[in-house]
Amino acid sequence: MEKHCVWKGVGVGAVSGLVASWAMLAFIDGPGRRLLDMLKTDEDRKREAARQERDGADTPESVTMQAADVFASKSTGGKHLSLEGRKRGGTLVHYGFGAAMGAFYGGVVELAPVVGAGVGIPFGTVLWASTDLVSVPAVGFAKWPTDEPAAAHVTHWMAHVIYGMGLEALRREGRRWVR
C-alpha cells in the first residue's frame, strides 16, 4: 500500500477545500460579522458611512464578485454581468479558488508532510497574507492594507485560519479513507 500519492492528495484536498470554503463563509456571515462590528472604532464607522453616502451602496462588491465580472468580461468580449450574475459568479469564484487552494495544499502535503503541521493555521495565514494583503490589492479589487481598518484584517485573517484548519482536518480524515 502506497503511503504518499500526490494525485490522491490533490483530489482529497480539492474536496476538503470546497467544504472549508463553506466554513469560511459561515464564519464571515455569522461570528465574523459580529466580531468586525465589535472591533470597529468610531473613526471606522465614520469612514464607512461616508463611503456608503458617496457610493450609494450598503456594502461594496466582494472581491470574488469583481473577479467574476472581470472573467466574464474578458471571455465575452466586454460584456459585464448583472448584479445577480456577479453574486452567482462570486460564489463560483470563491468555491473554485477554495478548491484549487485545497488541491494545491493536498498535493504539497503528500510531497512534504511537514506542511500539514500546525493544523492548517500556517497555510491559512500564508493564504490570507498573499491574497488579502498583496495579490487582491495589487490587481485593484481591494484597498491596500494600510487603507483598511485593523478590525477588517483581524476578521479576514480569522476566516482564513478557519479555512486552513478545516482544510487540514478534512484532508487528514479524507486521506484515511482514500488509500
Give percent helix, percent strand, percent coil of the chain, each to the nearest 5: 80, 0, 20
More confident residue, 121 or 1: 121
Residue range 25-74, pLDDT digits in tens: 999 889 888 887 787 778 877 877 776 676 665 556 788 999 999 999 99
Residue among 39, 69, 62 nearest 132 (CA): 62
Residues in the chain: 179
Kindly report the CA angle at 144 between 142 and 149, in degrees rounded to 5? 90
* pLDDT above 90 (res 179): no
Q: Cα dihedral angle (53, 60, 156, 101), rounded to 10 degrees?
A: -170
Spatial distance between the Cα atoms of 42 and 49, rounded to a whole number of angstroms:
11
Instruction: Give residue 1's pLDDT.
Output: 35
The C-alpha cell at 48 is 464607512
H helices present in 81-149, as ranges: 83-111, 121-128, 136-138
pTM: 0.85
Instruction: Give residue 59's pLDDT.
Output: 57
